[in-house]
Structure 1
Amino acid sequence: MRGVILAAGRGSRLGNLTDERPKCLVPLAGRTLLDWQRSALTAAGVGELAVVTGYRGHLIAERGLMTFPARRWAETTMVGSLLAASPWLEAGPCVVSYGDIVYTAATVRALVTAPGELAISYDPQWADLWHQRFADPREDAESFRLTEDGCLAEIGARPRDLSQVEGQYMGLLRFTPRSWRAALRVLDGREEVLDMTGLLQQLVEDGQRVEAVPCDGPWCEVDGPGDLRVGEEIVRRNEEAFAW
């Protein structure tokens, strides 16, 4: 199993923390975000890792990691970054991680062993984390609904109320070559307008089964400086879960 970390963006909402480095190299609890991701993926048995780079990508390449440069990272969404790693996605099963999240190895293992061609990790207890991050969790929450058998039914819309939110997508997913080919058919030149949740929603509407795998352990996402404080507290309170 291979793993790809999408780390092309600057992370402008972090202000001067990313003036001289990409977002994935911002430290959290004594380690960069990239180091947290590498450790979790490796501990879960992901054997080869690559990073999709963009903003100040040379700083990542200097760490000896294999990289896929996203040439148009500033003009496209996360999906554009994902396309840069297409050679690996076409070749075999691959875990894909956003470059601004911290999660446990147990969550990766659950994702890797999930059935089906396409699977995503999600947090069914999302509200607790969102209350720590936002004054009103509804400001950032997206719709997330499941089918009776636990597959993705809806994702990415602005929810009318929280009854439409059965969890939150984490930015961690797993493709097989077959599901990646389905994704390429959906994209077909639309990488500038479709974001990742938009791609997943379109795949669902086209009949692609998307397994939804609950996270195993704590996690956090870093969008702004306040998220760093939240993430550091999560890591501090859950040292055993993050001890690899």
Structure 2
Amino acid sequence: MKAIILAAGQGTRLRPLTDDRPKCMVEYKGKSIITTILETMHNCGIEDIAIVGGYKIDVLKEYLKDQTIVFFENKEYEKTNMVSTFFCAEEWMDDDLIISYADIMYTDSLLQKVLSEPSPISTSVDLEWLELWKCRMDNPLADAETMKLDDFGNIVELGKKPKSYDEIHGQYMGLIKIKKELIGEIVEFYATLSRDAMYDGKSFTQMYMTSFLQMIIDHIMPIKAVLVHGGWIEIDCVQDMESEMFIP
């Protein structure tokens, strides 16, 4: 098992905390986000870890100099998004993979549940997302995205603008597992996508991860939802730093 942590973004909504460091180095309850992620991965037996950096990558490398981390760089971080960042580490994709956003923290038990899912591709889905979102914002529906599951626990739609809470069966977190046998097909599929097309209103380089996952669902195979009940938090703005929803 290998892990890729996507940490290229600028974290503009966390300024001024990110003026001199990448978003994943911001501290939550006295510990940096990236330290918490790495500790969780180590606790679950994941030692082969790569980080795709971009903004302030040299600061991050210095911060983690005592750890055995493979670094990749998204030099175009200012004008790209998660999918472009992910494929900067394409040469690392030769084993079962855990892909994690760098602004989320999750418990050991949550990560272990994702690791235990046997499906070729899966992602964690929080069934209790609304409680967390109510703590973060006044109107959760305005920020939320669709997440529709079928009767077999597969995701059939995600990442769209919901019209009601009925279209949100859970919350996509940004924690994905892909088994080795599927990686080659996904890489080849990505290579066939038009660089000139628009994807949910975004250019190829600015494509959202949810848009890419939806295309995998539509063209390759279903994505299994690993259902969880809390046990994680996203740090996206200064207000999130005050949340008591997650204690690492």
The normalised TM-score by structure 2 is: 0.90
CA–CA distance in structure 2, aligned partners of residues 195 and 8 of structure 1: 14
- Which among 126, 138, 142 is matched to residue 141 of structure 2? 138
- Which among 154, 158, 172 is matched to residue 155 of structure 1? 158
| 1:43-122 alignment, distance < 5 Å | 43-62=43-62, 63-64=64-65, 65-89=69-93, 91-122=94-125
**1:165 to 1:216, Cα distance in 2 relative to 1, 3 A:** closer
Q: Measure how far apart 1:178 and its partner are.
A: 3.5
- Which among 178, 195, 214 is matched to residue 208 of structure 2? 195
Q: Cα deviation per residue 1:163-214 (whole Å; 9 max; x = unaligned)?
A: 0100010010011234333333443354414210001111111141211102
Runs of 4+ in 1 over 2 A off after TM superposition: 176-191
Q: Measure how far apart 1:217 and its partner are.
A: 4.8
Task: Give the partner amino acid of 1:198.
Answer: S
Q: Who is 1:229 aligned against?
A: 242
CA–CA distance in structure 2, aligned partners of residues 78 and 162 of structure 1: 26
CA–CA distance in structure 1, aligned partners of residues 246 and 160 of structure 2: 30
Q: Who is 2:172 aligned against?
A: 169
Task: Give the partner amino acid of 1:67.
Answer: F
CA–CA distance in structure 2, aligned partners of residues 38 and 115 of structure 1: 23
**1:113 to 1:204, Cα distance in 2 relative to 1, 3 A:** same
- Tell me if structure 2 keeps the 8 A contact 1:183–1:199: no
RMSD, matched Cα: 1.5
Residue aligned with 1:19, SS:
coil
Task: Give the partner amino acid of 2:246.
Answer: V
- Tell me if structure 2 keeps the 8 A contact 1:117–1:179: yes
The normalised TM-score by structure 1 is: 0.91
CA–CA distance in structure 2, aligned partners of residues 3 and 215 of structure 1: 20
CA–CA distance in structure 1, aligned partners of residues 31 and 8 of structure 2: 19
- Tell me if structure 1 keeps the 8 A contact 2:126–2:230: no
- Tell me if structure 2 keeps the 8 A contact 1:22–1:55: yes
Structure 1: segments with no counterpart, 5+ residues: 237-241
- Tell me if structure 1 keeps the 8 A contact 2:125–2:226: yes
- Tell me if structure 1 keeps the 8 A contact 2:95–2:180: yes
Task: Give the partner amino acid of 2:205.
Answer: E
* Percentage identity across paired residues of the two chains: 30
Q: Measure how far apart 1:97 and its partner are.
A: 0.5
Q: Cα deviation per residue 1:96-116 (whole Å; 9 max; x = unaligned)?
A: 110000101111111111012
Structure 2: segments with no counterpart, 5+ residues: 196-203
